[in-house]
Amino acid sequence: MPVTYTKVEKITDVAAVKEAYKPTHPGLFEVVYSEGDYNSKLVACKSYAKGEIICKVEGTTPGPKRYTSVQVAKDGHIELNSDLVFMNHSCNPTVSLDTDSMAVVAVVDLKEGDNLTFFYPSSEWEMDQPFTCWCGADKCVKSIQGAKFLSSEVMSRYFTTSHIQQLISERDA
């Protein structure tokens, strides 16, 4: 895994990006690059059974809250420094990003080519770059801003990290 990993923000030439970026987890998952802003995605390169660890989250560095960062504690954020940064959000996610065990885990059975997505508010309390969700899930929560803006009933449908559980308890006390 490269020591410094710079995520491409706006993609104008997919072929050039594919040429320049070596996959960080070959055989496990890969980025499907698409032109434009934030249109790329991460897909499985093989099948995974529900509950299986897809990878451990390694090579991270602490940093400020950004649209690429992941919250790991009440006041702590990391950069993933790998292709995992291309995991999109879904309100019907296929994986969990467990910042307590630092692992990406399948939450459904997955086959090759399936999207790897997680529920961003599972780890994020108040996001740097909120967005309107295009996942299309039946129970899509639409406005993705972080767990702070969702009821405990909505959050109870999802895997949640320990810092988010704690922040919800404090908010609802």
Ligand X SMILES: C[S@@+](CC[C@H](N)C(=O)[O-])C[C@H]1O[C@@H](n2cnc3c(N)ncnc32)[C@H](O)[C@@H]1O
- Written as six digits, the tokens of 7 are 């995520």
Residue closer to ligand X, measured from CB, 67 or 100: 67
Among 6, 20, 35, 39, binds ligand X (CB under 6 A): 39
Residue closer to ligand X, measured from CB, 131 or 159: 131
Query: Hey, which residues between 133 and 162 contact ligand X (CB under 6 A)?
Result: 133-135
Query: Hey, which residues between 50 and 89 contact ligand X (CB under 6 A)?
Result: 67-68, 85-86, 88-89
Beta carbon of residue 21, minimum distance to ligand X (angstroms, whole number): 12
- Written as six digits, the tokens of 17 are 């990006």
Beta carbon of residue 127, minimum distance to ligand X (angstroms, whole number): 8
> Where on the chain is the footprint of ligand X (CB under 6 A)?
38-41, 67-68, 85-86, 88-90, 129, 131, 133-135
